[in-house]
C-alpha cells in the first residue's frame, strides 16, 4: 500500500479536529456561562460554513491529505449502528450542532 506524502499530517489534523470538537461541545453543554455568547457565535459560524461549503472545511482538508473517506463523525455513526455515508454524516453533524447550539441558547437564558 502506497502512502500519500501528507497522510500523517492529515491524521494529526484529524485528531486535533476531534479533540477541539469535543472541547467545544463540552464547554457549550457544561462550561462556564460567561463563554456561552462566544460559543453561540462559534456554532452559528460552524453551521453557516458547513452549509456554504457542503461540509466541514477541516474534514475536506483531512480527506485531501489522507486520501481516505473517514471523518470524525464515523465513530459515532458506528456506535449508533448507522452506515457511514455522506448523507448520514451530514444528518448527524447538523443534528448535533443544532442541538448543542440550542442547549447553549437555553443555558444563556438562565
Over residues 32-52, mean pLDDT: 92
pLDDT band at 33 (very low <50, low <70, confident <90, very high): very high
Four-CA torsion 106, 95, 35, 23, nearest 10 degrees: 140
Q: Residue 14 in 3-state DSSP?
A: helix
Convert the pLDDT of each residue in 46-103 to its tens digit: 899 999 999 999 999 999 999 899 899 999 999 999 999 999 999 999 999 999 999 9
Bin 81: left if φ > 0, else alpha if -120 < ψ < 50, else beta.
Answer: left
Q: How many domains does the chain have?
A: 1
Is residue 82 assigned to a domain?
yes
Q: What is the pTM of this model?
A: 0.84
Would the pLDDT of 5 be above 90? no
Is residue 34 assigned to a domain?
yes
The residue range of the domain holding 78 is 7-109
Is residue 1 assigned to a domain?
no
Is residue 2 assigned to a domain?
no
Amino acid at each position: 500500500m502506497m502512502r500519500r506524502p501528507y497522510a500523517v499530517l492529515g491524521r494529526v489534523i484529524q485528531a486535533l479536529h476531534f479533540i477541539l470538537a469535543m472541547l467545544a461541545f463540552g464547554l457549550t453543554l457544561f462550561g462556564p456561562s460567561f463563554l456561552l455568547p462566544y460559543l453561540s457565535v462559534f456554532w452559528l459560524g460552524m453551521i453557516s460554513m458547513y452549509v456554504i461549503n457542503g461540509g466541514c472545511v477541516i474534514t475536506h482538508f483531512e480527506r485531501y491529505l489522507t486520501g481516505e473517506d473517514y471523518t470524525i463523525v464515523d465513530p459515532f455513526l458506528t456506535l449508533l449502528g448507522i452506515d457511514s455515508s455522506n448523507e448520514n454524516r451530514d444528518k448527524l453533524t447538523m443534528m448535533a450542532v443544532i442541538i448543542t447550539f440550542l442547549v447553549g441558547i437555553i443555558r444563556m437564558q438562565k
